[in-house]
């Protein structure tokens, strides 16, 4: 079982090898994702937005680099 966040009870990860730094996820939920110095998205707070909005951001990632797991297993993809 992955370690889940206290509020949303999810684990959010970004595959850095896939991320192209488009910034879409940062635009959608800026309190959850930020771009680091290498222009790769990093998760700063998995409780920084609603689960629905985080799943929207994951679904809008152009290279499907965002993975979300919840208590019952995979939420995205
Ligand atoms: S939307 Fe996807 S490709 Fe764009 S910065 Fe976020 S994780 Fe990276």
Beta partners for residue 34, in sequence order: 42
Longest Cα separation, the chain: 34
CATH code for the domain in which residue 48 is found: 3.30.70.20
Number of domains in the chain: 1
pTM for the structure as a whole: 0.96
The residue whose CA has the least distance to atom 4 of ligand 1 is: 22
The residue whose CA has the least distance to atom 3 of ligand 1 is: 19
Nearest to 60 by CA among 35, 31, 25: 25
Q: What is the pLDDT of residue 33?
A: 98
Average pLDDT over residues 64-69: 98
- Give just the sign of the alpha carbon dihedral 49, 50, 53, 58: positive
The DSSP code for 5 is P
Residue 5 lies in a domain: no
Question: Using one digit for the tens of pLDDT, what is the confidence trace for 9-25?
Answer: 999 999 999 999 999 99
Pull the structure tokens for residue 46.
């998995």
Pull the structure tokens for residue 22.
């488009």
Q: What is the pLDDT of residue 67?
A: 98
Q: Which residue range forms the structural domain that includes residue 62?
A: 10-76
Q: Which residues line ligand 1 (CB under 6 A)?
A: 14, 19-25, 33, 41, 61-63, 65-66
The yes-or-no verdict on residue 2 having pLDDT over 90 is no
Q: What is the pLDDT of residue 11?
A: 98
The yes-or-no verdict on residue 42 having pLDDT over 80 is yes
* Cα 37 → chain centroid: 18
Residue 2 lies in a domain: no
């Amino acid at each position: 079982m992955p370690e889940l966040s206290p509020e949303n009870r999810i684990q959010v990860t970004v595959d850095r090898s896939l991320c192209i730094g488009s910034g879409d996820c940062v635009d959608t939920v800026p309190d959850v994702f930020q771009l680091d110095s290498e222009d790769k998205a990093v998760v700063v707070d998995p409780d920084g937005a609603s689960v629905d909005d985080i799943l929207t951001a994951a679904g809008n990632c152009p290279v499907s680099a965002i993975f979300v797991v919840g208590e019952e297993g995979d939420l995205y993809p």
